[in-house]
């Protein structure tokens, strides 16, 4: 099973104007499904057209000063949950892997509670988790990733969402 993503990280170029985003500039980023792949695009605040219909997630931030990296990844549970929800009908491997790792991260952060494991009608292993806040039950396909693959997907999730 492939775990290599073809998703670019932050480009610091506005997708609408081609203008370079400089340190301190406010930007918007969007992660969208396109032809079965997850694609990231960044926009300057003044050129942000709003989230497209196929958006998995979108967020805003400021371009950090050159060479400055955060000490520890800051995980935005709401953004992660939004990505998780928007990928619920995804059947492509990237989407399944992303959603599964988002589930693990949300469980680690105690937002999701493990309820059970089962097998779906297609014979796939499924995790059954409950949202600790709202109580919603979610069925998440287990793509059967090994530890190394989970770490790779997690790194990509963090990179794509700008949390690295």
Average pLDDT, the chain: 83
Contacts of 24 (CB under 8 A, 6+ apart): 62, 63, 65
CA 84 to chain centre: 7
Q: Is residue 66 part of a domain?
A: no
| pLDDT the model gives residue 3 | 38
- Domain coverage including residue 154: 77-160
pLDDT tens for each residue of 93-108: 888 988 998 998 898 8
Q: What is the pTM of this model?
A: 0.61
* Gap between the Cα atoms of 17 and 10, Å rounded: 16
Q: Is residue 110 part of a domain?
A: yes
Q: Is residue 40 part of a domain?
A: no
Counted domains in the chain: 1
């Amino acid at each position: 099973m492939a775990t290599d993503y073809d998703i670019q990280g932050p480009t610091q170029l506005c997708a609408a104007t081609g203008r370079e985003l400089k340190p301190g500039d406010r930007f918007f980023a969007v992660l969208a499904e396109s032809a079965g792949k997850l694609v990231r695009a960044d926009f300057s605040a003044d050129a942000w057209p709003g989230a497209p219909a196929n958006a998995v997630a979108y967020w805003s931030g400021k371009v950090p000063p050159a060479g400055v990296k955060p000490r520890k990844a800051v995980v935005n549970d709401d953004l992660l949950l939004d990505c998780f929800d928007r990928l619920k009908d995804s059947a492509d491997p990237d989407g399944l892997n992303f959603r599964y790792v988002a589930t693990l991260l949300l469980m680690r952060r105690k937002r999701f509670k493990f309820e059970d494991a089962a097998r779906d009608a297609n014979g796939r292993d499924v995790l059954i988790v409950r949202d600790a806040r709202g109580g919603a039950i979610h069925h998440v396909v287990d793509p059967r990733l090994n530890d190394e693959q989970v770490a790779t997907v997690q790194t990509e999730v963090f990179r794509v969402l700008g949390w690295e």
